[in-house]
Structure 1
């Protein structure tokens, strides 16, 4: 039964419960700060938290120098750019997953579904084989990630049937095609000079992080995030159905197009600098939904914060658990699969509804 227009307007326009703003987001922000401090502290070379705080404050205000040159190098030149990159990549992937789950009204959707991750990964692998360097790798991942999205949108426009269904099917086909190209490129790569770097990159890593890569990732990820966060209230309206959305003045086709392009931009930017890191865009939106509810106006910012903290924790584990750094894609899968199963078993309907 369709709700009346006053009910729709009330549901889509009223503010979320006060507790989601006063308890949810500020607490998540504090958790992110604690996780960031822990990431800067932990490692083979331990740096006291108080020295880290003084060091960071000393970059913008006069503070008596009590830290050593080695501590400064470890924190500011090695760990801080890696921290910034993990926050950006984790936040972008999680926000993209939450937005897609809202667009498709399906809690099992992630950025991999629209084929952008596979397209961007092929672009990165191709750049590695051709020896195009860091700038070429990022550019190639962008180009092929957006090309994958263009193909998916074209399939959805040309084919008949439900547009959302055709986009999902188009994403599946496009992702499989680019995955095949990745496999072929890996097969023809030099097994001694090119293959090791390709395999390591595909498994996902932030070990080569620097301020340049952080700046490169910040442009697409933050640009896409701004668009998604600005449009987040429209996701509540889209969940009512296309006819009701039009009645409330929200164009469903244009809104979905903006959201899909923004998610593609964030995903391509993340893959370009970190390789393939799975499960973040699938698991983290469920955590955000359980913590602050299903209102996208609060859920999407929460997903960005949780995603950044989550990937930072995983990255810290990857470089501290063993002497040889573990690939992030392996850890996110090992942690994500059982965690996701536990969420399904414990929450069931509450993952997507307020019941």
Structure 2
């Protein structure tokens, strides 16, 4: 009886600690967002940000037209895009790491980023407008993952292993297609557009582009958030899951679909922005543990704040704006090296 009471108290403390931690993370995210409105090539003061925001709600005080334009047409869609892209990639990365029981897995393991790149590169080569480039990237990402999944279903071997191998093959094929398009593209115009898109950036983001990607990102986030506890089931061995009466393939397909929506929508909005889906879930896991009921919300908040902060660095550290994908790679690559070293040490210690 005393042990049971002790366990209840311990669980209550853990829940309280988790809520306080999540509240603190959300507070930091809010501060980063407010700070982001102030910085950029055209800096805005806090008072200009507030008056520009209130101008849409009937405020008739002293207004600077440039501040209103910058706030509503440039800063707001850019910050919203960074928030949702960061949250989407982080949540997709967490889900994939759980599904494949591998902490080194990232959202593009099944070729979604490569497929989106091929679709966008082909649309740019054809001289398509921005909305059609965005749509082509989205459809390309979904098609690549669908091809990986359908091909893997034909194999008689372990479904998880074949799915990963098929994803690698589709990724290589799409990358070859992008290379071919870059080879035949006009180097004075089209090649530059493709290269800029592949580097990842939110420079050309506007509210219309954000709205195109908002619904699939929101749908994917809502599904994974509502059913996040079931990702814990996917971490079980397939034989163990079958003995418990769990249809592991059906759950995996549902979460792959939701994660693909997140990744494809994020890539079609901001281009290739790497390392977020690999790095952020590890940071969230270190803070809240491996339970996906807690890990998914923590990953979403951390990922959103991280990408907004990286975008702030990209547009303020130099006189010219850096590609966002380059900044996240500079931050992510050392983390990946550290992760490999740490895993090697743990494996060595376990062996001894």
> What is the TM-score with the length of structure 2 in the denominator?
0.89
Greater mean deviation of Cα atoms: 336-345 or 165-174: 336-345
Alignment counterpart, residue 274 of structure 2, candidates 259, 274, 278: 278
Separation in 1 of the partners of 2:233 and 2:263?
24
1:7 aligned partner: none
CA displacement at 1:247 relative to structure 2: 5.1
Could you tell which deviates more after superposition, 176-185 or 142-151? 142-151
Per mean C-alpha deviation after superposition, the further-off stretch among 42-51 and 82-91 is 42-51
Unaligned runs of 5+ residues in structure 2 are: 1-10, 348-352
Among candidates 18, 23, 31, match of residue 21 of structure 1: 18
Aligned in 2, Cα 1:20/1:56: closer, same or farther, shift over 3 Å?
farther
Give the root-mean-square deviation of aligned CA atoms: 2.3
Asked whether the equivalents of residues 55 and 68 of structure 2 are also in contact (C-alpha less than 8 Å), the reply is no
Structure 1 residue 343, shift from structure 2 partner: 4.9
> For the structure 1 residues 67 and 19, does the alpha-carbon distance in structure 2 shift closer, same or farther, using more than 3 Å as the test?
farther
CA drift of 1:248 comes to 4.8
Check the 8 A contact 1:88/1:217 in 2, yes or no.
no
3-state DSSP class of the match of 1:120? helix
Q: What is the distance in 1 between the residues matched to 2:68 and 2:150?
A: 51
Note the C-alpha offset of 1:57: 5.0
Secondary structure of the corresponding residue to residue 225 of structure 2: helix
Q: Contact 2:88–2:300 (CA<8 Å) still a contact in 1?
A: yes
1:150 paired to 2:146: yes
Residues 279 and 332 of structure 2 are in contact (CA less than 8 Å); yes or no, is this contact kept in structure 1?
Answer: yes
How far apart are 1:169 and its partner, in Å?
0.5
Judge conservation of contact 1:16–1:298 (CA < 8 Å) in 2. no
What's 2:186 paired with?
190
User: Partner of 1:39 in structure 2?
Assistant: 36
Matches within 5 A, 1:1-355: 17-57=14-54, 59-60=56-57, 65-246=61-242, 248=244, 250-343=246-339, 345=341
Q: Any conservation in 1 of the 2:48–2:64 contact (CA below 8 Å)? A: no
Deviations 1:194-239 (A, max 9, x none): 1111100000010001110111111111111111112210011222
Shift of 1:67: 4.1
Q: Deviations over 1:13-67 (max 9, x none)?
A: x99931453122212211111111111111232222244245435545x656344
Q: What is the distance in 1 between the residues matched to 2:21 and 2:237?
A: 28
Structure 1 range deviating more: 109-118 or 138-147: 138-147
Measure, in 2, the Cα distance between the counterparts of 1:221 and 1:183: 28
> Matches of 1:214 and 1:24 in 2, distance apart?
30
Question: Could you list the per-position Cα deviations for residues 120-157 of structure 1 after superposition, in whole angstroms to 9, with x for gaps in the alignment?
Answer: 11000000000121121122112211111111112221
Contact 2:107 2:277 (8 Å CA) reproduced: yes
Unaligned runs of 5+ in 1: 1-13, 351-355
Is the Cα contact below 8 Å between 2:52 and 2:63 reproduced in 1?
yes
Alpha carbons of 1:19 and 1:342: their partners in 2 closer, same or farther (altered >3 Å)? farther
